[in-house]
Chain A
Amino acid sequence: MNWKREEPEAARALVKEIARLVEGPLRLMEVCGTHTVSIFRAGIRAMMPPGLELISGPGCPVCVTPTGEIDRAVELARRPEVVLLTFGDLMRVPGSRGSLAQARAEGADVRVILSPLDAVAVAEGEPRKKVVFFAVGFETTSPAIAWAVKEARRRGLENFYLLPCQRLIPPAIRALLSAGRTGVDGFILPGHVSVIIGRAPYLFIAREFGLPGVITGFEPLDILEGILMLLRQKKEGRAAIEIQYRRAVKEEGNPLALGLMEEVFRPADARWRGLGSIPSSGLLLRDGFSEMDAVQAFDLPYEEVKDPPGCLCGEILQGLKRPPDCPLFGRGCTPEAPIGPCMVSSEGTCAAYYKYGGISA
């Protein structure tokens, strides 16, 4: 559907219909950070009728990366033989011994890349260095990371390493629901992740927990329509996983991308900030690729680190608290001097509240 021209009218109609369907208090969780930002940028929170609350979930890969993983990356970056490559948002996440940005200011070779394949190019161009890619991301990014690993192998690079820190979304939703503290009435499910994984991995939300979910696109009108579809299910007493983002998401996802991930990675238990260790929620390199695993190659033990005192990122990632509830929000913790990762990432809930909050918070 081309919405561009009729956008304001279409939005008004959707908002009206949403208001008509809201009966009691209702909490809908947008799992994905891109949704959070889009909701703020379009001012959608302020357009919602009283009683309908949109809460942000654990869908920002930077935010859920625990401090211990940041520490490992910083420690690697400080080694003189290492070039550490990272996606930009991770640069400023504070570890317990400083951030990657601080390491860079002190002389470490830390570079920002946009695509995992860029990491392969750097490794090829700097044969005397050990090039480590700090691989953070969800199902959206992991196929491209798998491709980069295979490409490094194909080119015979012996100086390419992965610090694997990818996470999977459905196990995190399961962990949230199993903990039973969040009190969510339905899920706005991530569009990009679902392009890869399709609809099936979410079915447990409806079957086991009796809650509706709608896989939703990122344009403001997509989000309004996704909310409306959730409300309709509620109204009709249904709980199903539906797809609003039909123009991009196929029922079965992207088998090619899934195949790549499957070939290179195996699921493993992984630590999430705020959520603790979640079974089968991370990805590690399969045996055939394990010589590229930086944790093994550099012998990096994992040290458990406590979150900074006062920081509520963990609760915020679970939708238990809102950023303004945090004693540090906007006082000790700002995007310039972040304490918790939710304030660092452009898609972090706290950063979104801080940057776009104002009257729409």
Chain B
Amino acid sequence: MTGKVLLAHGAGGRMTHQLIRELFLPALGNEVLEALEDSAVLDLEGGRLAFTTDSYVVKPLFFPGGDIGRLALCGTVNDLAMMGARPLGISASFILEEGFPLEDLEKVLRSMRQAAEEAGVKVVSGDTKVVERGAAQGLYITTAGVGLVPEGIEIRGSGARPGDLVIVSGPLGDHEVAVLVARGDFSLEGEVRSDCAPLNGLVEAMISASREIHALRDPTRGGLATTLWEIARASGVGVLLEEESIPIREEVRGVCDLLGYDPYYLASEGRLLAFVPEGEAERVLKAMGDHPLGRGAMVVGKAVEEPPGKVLLRTKIGGHRVLEPLSGEQFPRIC
């Protein structure tokens, strides 16, 4: 591949997919990595291991509702949880810029610890490197995690089936808007807090209610639209969404209107999407409603046979549109 790394390569949309397909997979690929699931599941005697890794470069490091430490811990816990895995241990690797205040580092680590306690998991391994001033933006964190997939649980992004209902656990896009506002680039003001939270407890409650959950995924980069597109494509189903029922806060909508963003492409860091057979949905919704992170859970659509690999949105006024995956970066519009 020629050219240079562009920002859009990290946006979680088509270009990220392209980079992964054309660069990472040819170099590092194996049958486990190539499934492109939220974590790798390895066969173990007497059970299966889920294994995942993720890097965090969020800017700013601190934002309402969280910081890079909380995010790094929750992100990896959530990738495990989306496979139905119970997290066993997390590793964390830190790249620090020379001159980074120790006080800030301590704040990040405390917040990471707090999130780990919420998730009931430990950071069991770690590493630190420092690079010269200017070679990094304060602090980057890479976390990895292993988890155990309980016997009989088969949850994967390719597991959705026609007839499944699509459930979201709460309002979407809070995280991205909180970070955007905190970034201060756009002189925006707002009260939105990041939704960043570990979802393994919620997933355990859902699994206790039903062993039939087909697919789970957290709509991080690329948002609802891209995440559903990934599931639709991997599962060979279509997804039909009802715009009316998709939960998005008024403040989040307001920021989107101002910047020309589409809220269906905004990242959340403490929400999940579930594909559940219709007959199980009531039990799952009840279990979610009883958990603090699932109180806003609701059905937003369903999986259908046709057209496979596509996400269709029935708009509030009764029209239809296709939700394509995120293309490039979302930029603020200019008029």
Task: Write out, one digit per residue, whether chain A residues 123-162 have a CB within 8 A of any chain B CB (1) or not (0).
Answer: 0000000000000111011000000000000000000000
The residue in chain B whose Cβ has the minimal distance to the Cβ of A190 is B335
**Is the CB–CB distance between B15 and A336 below 8 Å?**
yes
CB atoms of B332 and A112 under 8 A apart: yes
Chain B residue at minimal CB-CB distance from A121: B187
Q: Which of B262, B328, B335 is A34 in contact with, Cβ under 8 Å?
A: B335
In the assembly, what is the distance between CA of A47 and CA of B6, in Å? 39
Bound CA span A334–B327, Å? 9
Instruction: Say yes or no: is A101 at the interface (Cβ < 8 Å to chain B).
Output: yes
Q: Looking at the complex, which of B38-46, B62-70, B113-121, B318-326 is the stretch in contact with chain A?
A: B318-326
B245: CB under 8 A from chain A?
A: no
B31 at the interface (CB under 8 A from A): no
CB atoms of A224 and B332 under 8 A apart: no
Task: Report chain A residues within 8 Å CB of B322.
Answer: 356-360
A340-360 near B? 1/0 per residue, CB < 8 Å = 000001110001001111111
Residues of B within 8 A of A201 (CB): none
Residues of B within 8 Å of A136, CB to CB, are: 334
Q: Given A47-B318, A356-B322, A360-B322, A347–B333 Cβ distance below 8 Å?
A: yes
Binds A, one of B80-88, B169-177, B309-317: B309-317
Which residues from chain B contact A335 at a C-beta distance below 8 Å? 14, 327-328
* Closest chain B residue to A111, Cβ basis: B185
Query: What residue of chain A has the Cβ atom nearest to residue B14's Cβ?
Result: A336
Residues from chain A with a CB closer than 8 A to the CB of B102 are: none
Residue in chain A with minimal CB distance to B264 = A41
Contact between A114 and B321, CB atoms less than 8 A apart:
no
CB of B18 within 8 A of chain A? yes
> What 1/0 mask marks residues of chain B from 13 to 24 whose CB sits below 8 Å from any chain A CB?
111001000000
- Is the CB of A283 closer than 8 A to any CB of chain B? no
How long is the Cα–Cα vector from A33 to B185 in the complex, in angstroms?
A: 24
Interchain CA distance A101-B15 in the complex, whole Å: 15
Q: Is the interface of B mostly helix, strand, loop or mixed?
A: loop
- CB neighbours of B328 from chain A (8 A): 92, 335-336
Within 8 A of A (CB), among B1-47: 4-8, 13-15, 18
Docked CA distance A11–B15 (Å): 37
Interface stretch among A83-91, A251-259, A298-306?
Answer: A83-91
Binary flags per residue of A34-52, CB closer than 8 Å to B gives 1, else 0? 1001001111111100000
Please name the residue on chain B nearest to A45 by beta carbon. B319
Chain B 111-154 near chain A by CB (<8 Å), digits 1 or 0: 00000000000000000000000000000000000000000000
Return chain A residues, CB-CB under 8 Å to B260: 37, 346-347
**Chain B contacts of A336 at CB under 8 A?**
8, 13-15, 18, 327-328
Query: Does any Cβ of A come within 8 Å of B246's Cβ?
Result: no
* Cross-interface CB contact of A105 among B4, B332, B335, cutoff 8 Å: B4
Shortest C-beta distance, A215 to chain B (Å), equals: 16
Can you list 14 A-B contacts (CB < 8 A)? A8-B318, A41-B262, A43-B313, A43-B321, A61-B334, A106-B4, A114-B332, A220-B319, A336-B327, A345-B333, A346-B330, A347-B260, A355-B324, A358-B310
B residues near A, CB below 8 A? 4-8, 13-15, 18, 185-187, 244, 259-260, 262, 310, 312-322, 324, 327-328, 330-335
Chain A contact residues, CB within 8 Å of chain B? 7-8, 11-12, 15, 33-34, 37, 40-47, 61-62, 87-92, 101-102, 105-106, 112-115, 118, 136-138, 140-141, 192, 220-221, 224, 334-336, 345-347, 351, 354-360
**Seed contacts A47-B317, A220-B315; 4 additional CB < 8 Å A-B pairs:** A105-B5, A347-B260, A347-B335, A360-B319
